[in-house]
Chains A and B, each alone.
Chain A
């Protein structure tokens, strides 16, 4: 080809591209943006700035100023925000480079929120800057919540502001809040009933809702009409806007003292040096493949077995997270996640528990590689609902945390203690309805933030400590809640005895919550966790996982009348109420923890417990003193402690008999040698070449990651392209069962089949 034809071919290509761009009918989620978690390539402006500014002290000082600006923004949102999530730390503020890379997030709050906002910022840069009907100018603000454009789930709303200096875009700031209500099929923002993306409420791709630092009233009114909490929608949009404006103010101070190039150099240098440091740290790990998995026991609509499978491959300075073998997406269930959500949560595992000393940006995850199959739970299609993506991203966190611990143990340099997996489910009440003041509300209790901590290599896990998605978040003030909601937590913050994950160091435990509606006829609850049949985590190095937990209900009682007339009947634990059944004529039932929105009656009890973090090491090595301390604190009963840990002690004085304990433990080690069978024999007698026959199973079996099961032994699919899976509505399943029974009964009675009767 000569130059001339070459040129004309290029011109043709440009023309075609322009034509396609001008005639695009729908700017849907952009895979080019959505599938890339890495920091952007260095721009010429960044190159120039980094050449001009090489003083690391100056760069560090600017970074510290930006970090404190983020803390200030965080504090503003936490103090002024109206959403319960805002008050208790389920928020974040962050600063992004001109290309959209998150460089600094506030130390408090939920890093994954910020770490995903780079996707919508990159969408704005790609599509709205040059779009004449939109444009990006100083004083503009963009709102966003659609996970398909980069978010955990659409209950989290972001406000995004560009920062200009003398007409030139220098960086971005954003603030994100777990708002709760978003106009979905169920109140509270995280519907487990969603069967399509259209059941999930507001789906805001990034759009301009602020001009000249003012919220556009027409758009605001539309948004308010789309959710159950219109006042909250307005209040928190303002709060996030003001936090972003404060960040902009602080950045402008830096611009005035150090100039725009210094700012650009600081942002770029920070991200690039984090990438370099992460690669160095990865190199320190042993070259190895670590495999792990967790078990999902529920779709939140029905019980089923779903697998989250992970192999982490480390070679030199490369670290690859391979999720092959994970369950396919369930195309009409809400527990799927978009790929960035899964990656963000793996990033959160690194920032919380492995390298918390690094700047809280997206660069920490940038060198990590991922392998996933589109159409799976951790990389779902754009049409699959993902309002309960927490389920699959929390499991992704756990498998990442569990695998990394096995890499970290041998490393001479550690930045945190080796840790067993954290509890990973939001055991809390999501609620909604009309409150005692006549206002419509839909949100949740901050008890979700009290997940039991994993045991560390040298100490027990801490109780109800923090959620896996934030190291610093609060569980809320119950009395404050009760001013706004028409129910009481009759029991709260009381540890649930005998639920610990045993080990040489035990996991941190969770507490009991017993709630009953009091002052509303229009109020209800939902719960959205897995783990009622199968523990959701793993233990570490011979330690166990936490156990399961039910949802317990007591109906046909008004406990407030009981408290007035026979207060001695009321008991303060789930086991006393359920086992003793103290209220005459009441109905006592248990359920899995995927309760769809359930309208409550005054004084009926809903009872749940948080879960325990994982245990560490062989329980026979647990210091008997720690066992006794747990008994004294009511965390474990003496009988159960004896059984689990093989400790002999005087039940009255709790004095340990060390000699008898040693003997008991030595005997038990011998018993293990008798009950355990050699590996090869175990595999021969216990392992089957297919999943259980009678339980719907989704995922790969026995390490063959090319084939995945899709709910039954007959339904095997190509792992690279599993295709959609539609699960039958639980009510239709029940109706079919009942119709079959009815048909059989009619047949027995000699009656014709029902549908033939005229």
Chain B
């Protein structure tokens, strides 16, 4: 049985591995840190958050200060999907963000049916597309 853990990650309870939900790539042991099986890139904040006002003229420009923050991007090495993004202190260790108790997870899902599509929960509003006139 497989458990959908995030938008892009699942855990195979039988093989005890993290897997990519986009390309089925086996990322690494589920008892460990999935990030260790991914590629990491230290992204320049200016690529994501542009200087809306001229950085030649001004100190604060809407663009985060690269000396003050790093943006770590984590990619699936097989399909290149961006699995996770972490805003962190400059040169800080990436966080071990999901440390799963696999034995407890197995126990929990032994009472559940496998779920192939994530459960969304109750809906609240009409989707934006339905009201938009093209």
Chain A positions near chain B (C-beta within 8 angstroms): 286-295, 297, 303, 305, 307, 315, 406, 409-418, 457-460, 496-499, 502, 504, 532-535, 537-552, 574-575, 578-579, 588-592, 609, 616-621, 625, 629, 640, 643-644, 668-673, 675-680, 682-683, 686-688, 691-692, 694-695, 697, 701-703
Contacts and interface: CB of A to CB of B under 8 A. Distances in A.
A687 B87 CA distance: 14
B101 A288 contact: yes
B91 A677 contact: no
B94 A618 contact: no
Interface string B60-90: 1111110111010111010111111111111
Contacts of B79: 669
B101 A287 contact: yes
A315 B89 CA distance: 29
Contact of B63 (A459, A540, A547, A589): A547
B52 A672 contact: no
B11 to A, nearest CB: 9
Contact of A676 (B3, B6, B39, B89): B39
A687 B92 contact: yes
A498 to B, nearest CB: 6
A543 B95 CA distance: 16
B97 A406 contact: yes
Contact of B8 (A542, A588, A701): A542
Interface string B1-38: 00111111000000000000000000000000001111
A624 B32 CA distance: 36
Given A535-B69, A575-B52, A590-B53, 9 more contacts: A290-B99, A295-B87, A307-B89, A409-B118, A533-B68, A539-B87, A548-B65, A550-B61, A701-B92
16 contacts: A286-B104, A295-B89, A297-B68, A315-B101, A409-B4, A412-B112, A417-B120, A539-B85, A540-B7, A544-B71, A618-B7, A618-B83, A672-B82, A675-B41, A677-B40, A691-B92
Nearest to A460: B128
A694 B90 CA distance: 11
A638 B5 CA distance: 35
A315 B85 CA distance: 26
Query: For chain B, what secondary structure do more than half of its interface residues adopt (helix, strand, loop), or is it mixed?
Result: loop
B65 A533 contact: yes
A315 B108 CA distance: 12
A274 B71 CA distance: 39
Interface in B83-134: 83-101, 104-105, 108, 112, 115, 118-124, 127-129, 132
A669 B38 CA distance: 14
Nearest to A550: B60
A541 B62 CA distance: 23
Given A288-B98, A547-B63, A620-B82, A409 B120 contact: no
B7 A459 contact: no
Interface residues of B, number: 78
B118 A295 contact: no
A286 B60 contact: no
Residue with the highest number of chain B CB atoms closer than 10 Å, among A303, A550, A616: A550
B115 A543 contact: no
B82 A547 contact: no
A578 B119 contact: no
Contact of A702 (B63, B85, B92, B128): B92
B49 A535 contact: yes
Contact of A532 (B54, B60, B124): B60
B52 A496 contact: yes
A293 B71 contact: no
B48 A683 contact: no
B113 to A, nearest CB: 8
A695 B65 CA distance: 12
B9 to A, nearest CB: 8
Given A502-B48, A619-B82, A676-B39, A287 B100 contact: yes
A629 B61 CA distance: 26
Contacts of B4: 409-410
Contacts of A552: 53, 58
A459 B127 contact: yes
A534 B69 contact: yes
A534 B68 contact: yes
Contacts of B124: 417
A574 B118 contact: no
Residue with the highest number of chain A CB atoms closer than 10 Å, among B8, B52, B67, B127: B52
Contact of A579 (B53, B60, B93, B95): B53
A670 B101 CA distance: 33
Given A414-B119, A460-B128, A288 B80 contact: no
Contacts of A616: 7
Nearest to B93: A702
Contacts of A542: 7-8, 74, 81-85
Contacts of B91: 686-688, 692
Nearest to B41: A676
Nearest to A615: B85
A537 to B, nearest CB: 8
A680 B48 CA distance: 25
A250 to B, nearest CB: 30
Nearest to A402: B97
A574 B53 contact: yes
Contacts of B52: 496-499, 574-575
Contact of B64 (A504, A534, A578, A618): A534
Contacts of A618: 7-8, 81-83
A297 B39 CA distance: 28
A409 B7 contact: yes
Contacts of B97: 290-292, 406
A629 B132 contact: yes
Given A414-B120, A496-B52, A676-B77, A534 B65 contact: yes
Given A578-B58, A640-B50, A673-B77, A292 B8 contact: no
Contact of B48 (A551, A592, A644, A687): A644
Contacts of A286: 3, 5, 100-101, 104-105, 108
Contact of A293 (B88, B128, B132): B88
A729 B3 CA distance: 53
A538 B8 CA distance: 17
A550 to B, nearest CB: 3
A292 B84 CA distance: 12
Contacts of B75: 672-673, 676
Residue with the highest number of chain A CB atoms closer than 10 Å, among B63, B81, B85: B85
A703 B58 contact: no
Contacts of A502: 48
Contacts of B80: 668-673
Nearest to A681: B40
A683 B42 CA distance: 11
Contact of A550 (B41, B58, B82): B58
Contacts of A676: 38-41, 73-75, 77
Contacts of A499: 49, 52, 62
Contacts of A459: 127-128
Contacts of A702: 92-93
A297 B87 CA distance: 13
B96 A291 contact: yes
A418 B47 CA distance: 27
B81 A669 contact: yes
B35 to A, nearest CB: 6
A395 to B, nearest CB: 12
Nearest to A294: B87
Contacts of B95: 291-293, 703
Contacts of A619: 82
Contacts of B123: 417
Nearest to B53: A578
